[in-house]
Structure 1
């Protein structure tokens, strides 16, 4: 396996792969020629456009293969967030429905939730924000009860970025399609970590983000089922199936395509089993060292194999991570002007404020090792006992 050094060589243990991933050196190698030798416009008919044009087509095929070999269209975007915007805005504005209705769970990524709020504000769209259960999951009967004759789109993520919970997308898609609604799936956290087959899931649109699977930031993609019509997000020369005009960034498209091919190969080789074993080892080590204090947030299964979201009772997540500079991870809270607030995802799941503010998201990835897991467990445990518990006793 390629070595990501020096990216991770001298820094803290990286347990924040759900936030972003190091760029795989094989991805860098693949994209570099399109920043130098093969610089041409892929739409040009002459010599200099031929190699970039062929590379762009190959990258589309590689992304499609990661999504189950889909026969729809792959549209390259500037990010996963842009792909979400194109899917939601594009479907709603192309629907022709008077006062269209959209349904999304409350635990969706902000790229989906904020797009919905903009559609409400700017276009008079009705939006239903579905509740989730204590594990962050949407029940199909809850979706069925919210559907109306005006529902044009249901958007539901494949995997939650904070808890790793996997939504029953296939069941939800069947319910939505029975009522004539389209289904968009934000698969940014799932693609490359678990198999994602858009045909088997029955979704009409799906989002992929490059920097979640070892490609650079600044590249994403949207899958569209064949025959689907969207309103363009960017108008101009008609690139990207006339949905996102502007000369394509071939180097970044190649990077995403290469990352998708590498991820597909690792899934076949069982990479998810390795990560699941390391994740569970970390969880077990912490539970044994801190008996009765480690609570899992989200379902044990179905869950992303790399994601562990826990609350350690008697701590604050941000204080704990500040006291452990040897680990780079995320908390279950958001900081606004120095004040920490519970994560909206954990709040929607019904977790109380104390448990939400104690949450840690520990997400593993391609270069996480057994020694990383052992060392991280030791650092967290020692810090809880010697710093946080001691400070609480003195107080």
Structure 2
């Protein structure tokens, strides 16, 4: 196959992934302000799209981590071919769409890393992955960042409730004014999302240009790459991602405005600091950690450890699952041009099936907030505990 054809194909797939990343992760910024009534769904998504676009221009450190870090470089450039990068993107896109179909707030970032690593290992061996960079800039941040964001959100929530101490939190009055603050804090999360997630696609496109010998090893993304990735993620964000918003946002119906403000601020601060350091974070995990921390900041709250375990299991499965799909796509791509065509046809059919299946249970801005979020359900609030005890006593009396 002509090298130019595969390069163009990879760039197109990378932008498709960037688009899916946008609608998949919209909920990270906008689920809580939608749930608390701070913003209307369509306005929230429009704001997120605009700030994703702006954020993509603020830094390229994460892009450099992907283009010149995770995959080793040799004297002639990176040690994998454009065909393997193509296979990795197939794995990432398919996993993103599967989790979108079921409304699962999984990590688009880890789907991308998993797809690339699975394809690279199959095509070039285990030695092609720089495990030091993988652990230092992907795995450890994935473990530490949600914890840090959760602790910050916990402290911020406690402070918010202490400063605005009133006899009863009805969601109005002084504490209700935090809704206005949520407009700012959720916008900051959207900006941070653009600075971190759009760069991952920039890094992939730069990686394929280096692999094809069209760009010098160790160089950062070109301006046209930055611009195209910024617009792709912004358009994806504006498309809504209503399934993910439904899953994440409705679980936050018990989240009060002070909690939402604290969670969003800690999420944004964590992501912005990590982007500056070149850490490729999962915004989904950071946002979930912040929500759990803010929930625990409410007096009398506790943790549903079983639910927390299920959330963590979903995080853990994303990277190996997408790696498996990427590895399979790489094995098929190894057959040559025929393998690339098979990957495209099979991948396209899977996408069509997912889209047709999604129409049976269509989710729009009108019904996006209707189901319980796994992350929100991790925290057992005092009010919810009272309701369960009352229901249990009623059933006991009836029997």
Q: When the two structures are superposed, what TM-score results if normalisation uses the length of structure 2?
A: 0.29
* Structure with more of its chain in helix, by fraction: 2
Larger RCO: 1 or 2 (CA < 8 Å, sep 6+): 2
Which structure shows the bigger proportion of residues in strand conformation? 1
